[in-house]
Amino acid sequence: MRVFAQTKPLIAELTNIASDKSISHRCAIFSLLSDKKSVIKNYLRAEDTLNTLNIVRELGAVITDENGTITITPPAKIAEPKVVLECGNSGTAMRIFMGLLAAQDGFFVLSGDKYLNNRPMARVAKPLIKVGARIDGTSGGDKAPLCIRGKKLDYFKFKSEISSAQIKTALLLAGLYSNGCEFSEDELSRDHTERMLKGMGAKISDENGVIKLEAMTKPLNPLEISVPNDPSSAFFFAVAACVVPGSHIVLKNVLLNKTRIEAYKILEKMGADIKFTKTSEKYEEIGEIEIKYAKLKAVDVGENISWLIDEAPALAVAFSVASGVSTLRNAAELRVKESDRIGVVVANLKACGIEVSEFDDGFSVKGGVAKSAVIDSHGDHRIAMSFAILGLSCGMDILKSEFIATSFPNFSDILRQMGARVED
């Protein structure tokens, strides 16, 4: 991908932002928790989420996709597949399926592309093994392909040392299909799973940060949901409005869950002109976000990191155009995403002439004037999109940009809709 320096403000109301990836994954997987048809509108049709649908089909579901609506008819019992379950590039899918399948009667193998199969999975496998699951894999069980010999688990209590929605979801699904569980973490991670399970009729409560979930004695209610637009995907355009002077962007039908808009709150602290308007609420709060260009100032970020972990590369771009030195700390989780996002962000910002320092758990960025560069995304969709946004200020060539399709197939189209010049 080549992005050219922008000479005019970006002005647009965006309705065609990618649907929320986290909720789309869960809609497909959680449909298996019911014995009735789930109806899902605005499902994200990206490589990662389509792979998740394929796995749900291999587990016995019947799936139809007509007129923009996906209908999933679950099997009476999750089937033992005769093939390897391919997760593509999605760590979210692999880790959530690990929890679901750990409590099923059967043998299952999860695998992915060369990037996913090089990512650590012990962070989810070890907690599951600790509560009785049988999971093994390559590199001593740390990496996929992963083999799961499912069985019903005893009631368990687990406190996670890592605040992670993926770990939480895996443990809750294992407990739901077994004998129930209690789960806690130091800092609240994304809470889509708790909200959706409650909406489906699961007996779940949160008492002073301890989630208590009773075993599923009968199938849950089916889903009937329209997936909102993804605030993590929309955040790239919020940053774009802060990169290009005079810009004015309105993001429509966006998820406003507090655990998903922390990065926008950081932009507000940096001086961005942002307005949130809630328009509806069912499973989740949904609305619009309006961003007008304003000069940014430096900020220190070290709290609620699990709420902005996906937005961190784009936030680094905002740091690079702000006055002063900004820091991100307590974000070691970035090391184990689709790439080592700390190391890759630092290397690419340096390539753009930005002064940056690397820490074990984050980085500091001195705002300045970026220069055009060739960016290696390392096969990481969020790195590719983040530096495409920085390229609006100076021009940029992005290598391995094809991985953007794993989460946001129409990213380039939206940039053009906003007035940017982009060549795929």
Residues 263 and 256: beta-carbon distance below 8 Å: no
Count of Cβ atoms closer than 10 Å to residue 196 Cβ: 22
Residues belonging to the binding site for 3-phosphoshikimate are 21-22, 26, 164, 166, 310, 337
| 164-180 confidence digits (pLDDT tens) | 999 999 999 999 999 99
Whole-angstrom distance, CA of residue 411 vs CA of residue 86: 24
Annotated catalytic, 310?
Answer: yes
Residues belonging to the binding site for phosphoenolpyruvate are 21, 91, 119, 166, 341, 382
267 shares its domain with 125: no
Examine the fold and report which residue of 171, 197, 226 is the final residue of a domain before the chain moves on.
Answer: 226
Whole-angstrom distance, CA of residue 357 vs CA of residue 45: 37
SS3 sequence of 6-60: CCCCCEEEECCCCECHHHHHHHHHHHHHECCCEEEECCCCCHHHHHHHHHHHHCC
- CATH number, position 392: 3.65.10.10
68 shares its domain with 165: yes
Of 20, 191, 230, 310, the catalytic one is: 310
**210-213 and 181-185: which strand pairing?**
antiparallel
Q: How far is CA 229 from CA 82, 193, 210, 235, 361, in A?
A: 35, 17, 29, 11, 30
244 shares its domain with 300: yes
174 shares its domain with 301: no
325 shares its domain with 392: yes
Cis, bond preceding 145 (omega within 30 deg of 0): yes
| 78-98 confidence digits (pLDDT tens) | 999 999 999 999 999 999 999
| pLDDT the model gives residue 284 | 87
Report the pLDDT averaged over residues 7-16.
96
pLDDT bracket for residue 3 (50, 70, 90) = very high
Examine the fold and report which residue of 209, 226, 243 is the final residue of a domain before the chain moves on.
Answer: 226
Q: Which residue has the tokens 């990065």?
A: 263
User: Which of 15, 20, 21 shows the shortest CA–CA distance to 289?
Assistant: 15
Altogether, the residues listed in the chain come to a count of 424
Report the pLDDT averaged over residues 105-120.
96
205 shares its domain with 258: no
DSSP 154: P
89 shares its domain with 153: yes
236 shares its domain with 354: yes
SS3 sequence of 187-254: CCCCCHHHHHHHHCCCCEEEECCEEEECCCCCCECCCEEECCECHHHHHHHHHHHHHCCCCEEEEEEE
| 30-65 confidence digits (pLDDT tens) | 999 999 999 999 999 999 999 999 999 999 999 999
| 331-375 confidence digits (pLDDT tens) | 999 998 999 999 999 999 999 999 999 999 999 999 999 999 999
Host domain of residue 367:
2-19+228-423
149 shares its domain with 256: no
| pLDDT the model gives residue 202 | 97
Examine the fold and report which residue of 177, 199, 226 is the final residue of a domain before the chain moves on.
Answer: 226
Residue 282, pLDDT above cutoff 80: no
Whole-angstrom distance, CA of residue 342 vs CA of residue 336: 9
- pLDDT mean across residues, the chain: 96
| pLDDT the model gives residue 183 | 98
| 208-261 confidence digits (pLDDT tens) | 999 999 999 999 999 999 999 999 999 999 999 999 999 999 999 999 999 999
pLDDT bracket for residue 283 (50, 70, 90) = confident
59 shares its domain with 200: yes
| pLDDT the model gives residue 356 | 98
Residues belonging to the binding site are 21-22, 26, 91, 119, 164, 166, 310, 337, 341, 382
Report the pLDDT averaged over residues 309-315.
97
204 shares its domain with 270: no
Residues 345 and 313: beta-carbon distance below 8 Å: yes
In the chain, how many domains are there?
Answer: 2
% the chain with pLDDT above 90: 97
Whole-angstrom distance, CA of residue 38 vs CA of residue 49: 16
% the chain with pLDDT above 70: 100
11 shares its domain with 132: no
Residue 281, pLDDT above cutoff 90: no
Whole-angstrom distance, CA of residue 219 vs CA of residue 35: 6
Q: How far is CA 210 from CA 60, 124, 197, 361, in A?
A: 33, 19, 16, 27
Joined together, the tokens standing for residue 19 give 């649907």
